[in-house]
Amino acid sequence: MIVETNAPLQPHNTFGIVARARNMVRVRGAEDVHALLAHPELGAEPKFVLGGGSNIVLTGDVKAVVLKVEVAGRRVLEDGPKATIVEFGAGENWHEAVTWTMEQGLGGLENLALIPGTVGASPVQNIGAYGIELQDRFESLDAIDLVTGREFTLDATQCAFGYRDSVFKHSPARGSDFGLAGRALILRVRMRLPKPWKPVLGYIDLQRKMAETGVQAPTARQIYDWVCAIRSAKLPDPRVIGNAGSFFKNPTVTPEQCQDIIGREPNIVHYPMPDGSVKLAAGWLIDACGWKGKSVGQAGVYEKQALVLVNRGGATGGEVVTLARAIQTSVYERFGIRLEPEPVVV
Ligand code: EPU
């Protein structure tokens, strides 16, 4: 185990914010975590697990020991009659993992192409796009307890997936075992790719692609290419413009609240959900408040998608947070809706 001191974190967060870790350890397997826990000084220190850094806003140097997850590996674990199970090391890049499944001729993850971040971060967020969420393809994961060093496996139920939510985003409450935030590091993730493969084409942008191309029965590879094209057209590439994807979750309201808002804002974008609630497009709400293209210092609202905050060059975490708060205030004042951020502010 090598401990890097005063390690730069700018290359490890997709916002590209400048910050440093007092101590950083690269985790390539469980043995690195065991070595850290046995370390005379750092073993008992607070720890911070960092994947691809695609869902964090750094507001200063990180005092906790940063565990940079670099567990590698991709393989077909099982090829059964009902599904193929694939397994990835948590440090694998998510999009490269999806691309690898396409190269193996395995469909199932194509709608989730081009999402920034690592495989290990995908269950934490329960990433989702174009009609599929990770939980729809999730089989199980292996993780390690950062206090005891014990390794364990969780299935989908134990992960408690919700919309951009899981057990890994909750801190253990007093008197309860639920919540693994800061407690666990994900080592490997297994995905179930159902047989026969079925396309998921309900999302409006994919319907548009079908109409444009005249392709009514696309292959998984075709959908992968469409999703890459759609995302590239409206979402900034973090390698070019720092960002953390959608900055806020899409809020849900009751049908009564929605009717009330429609009365005042007839054009509001809304989707009825299976449980009777109504989901509103946060991007539309922010756009309607006139935020597209606006900035606070070097932190800005992306011109093509108001839900994405960007680093225009040298933004601080404080500027991002100030901009996010100003957006929350104006959306609340106009619509009475509180927007909840997706990324974790560190
Ligand atoms: N809209 C506007 N103005 C904007 C942005 C959006 O009017 O500036 C409208 C769009 O016209 C559309 C609606 O809002 O009618 C929804 O927009 P979009 O289809 O772009 O999707 P989204 O709800 O903004 C969600 C996810 C994305 C995911 C896409 C596709 C969340 C928070 N975001 O975005 O996920 O890629 O759907 O499925 O759920 C992420 O989480 O980081 C992420 C990028």
Percent of the chain with pLDDT over 90: 94
CA 210 vs CA 98, 172, 200, 221, 317: distances in Å = 22, 46, 12, 14, 40
Same fold, 2-69 and 74-194: no
Per-residue pLDDT at 1 exceeds 90: no
Q: What is the pLDDT of the chain when averaged over all its residues?
A: 96
CATH number of 74-194: 3.30.465.10
User: Hey, which of 204, 284, 335 would you mutate to test ligand 1's pocket, going by the most ligand atoms within 8 Å of its Cβ?
Assistant: 284
- The answer, yes or no, to whether the previous bond of 196 is cis (omega within 30 of 0) is yes
CB 151 within 8 A of CB 140: no
Strand partners, 65: 47
Q: Atom 27, ligand 1: which residue's CA is nearest?
A: 129
CA of 133 to the centre of ligand 1 (A): 14
* pLDDT band at residue 245 under the 50/70/90 scheme: very high
- Residue 132's pLDDT is 97
User: Hey, which of 95, 115, 246, 287 would you mutate to test ligand 1's pocket, going by the most ligand atoms within 8 Å of its Cβ?
Assistant: 246
Handedness of CA 258, 259, 262, 268 (dihedral sign): positive
Domain boundaries along the sequence of the chain: 2-69, 74-194, 242-345
* pLDDT band at residue 47 under the 50/70/90 scheme: very high
CA of 262 to the centre of ligand 1 (A): 19
Per-residue pLDDT at 303 exceeds 90: yes
Positions annotated as catalytic residues are 164, 246, 342
CATH architecture of the domain formed by 2-69:
2-Layer Sandwich (3.30)
The alpha carbon of 165 is separated from its chain's Cα centroid by a whole number of angstroms, namely: 9
Backbone φ, ψ for residue 246 (5° rounding): -60, 130
CATH architecture of the domain formed by 242-345:
Alpha-Beta Complex (3.90)
* pLDDT band at residue 175 under the 50/70/90 scheme: low
Per-residue pLDDT at 176 exceeds 80: no
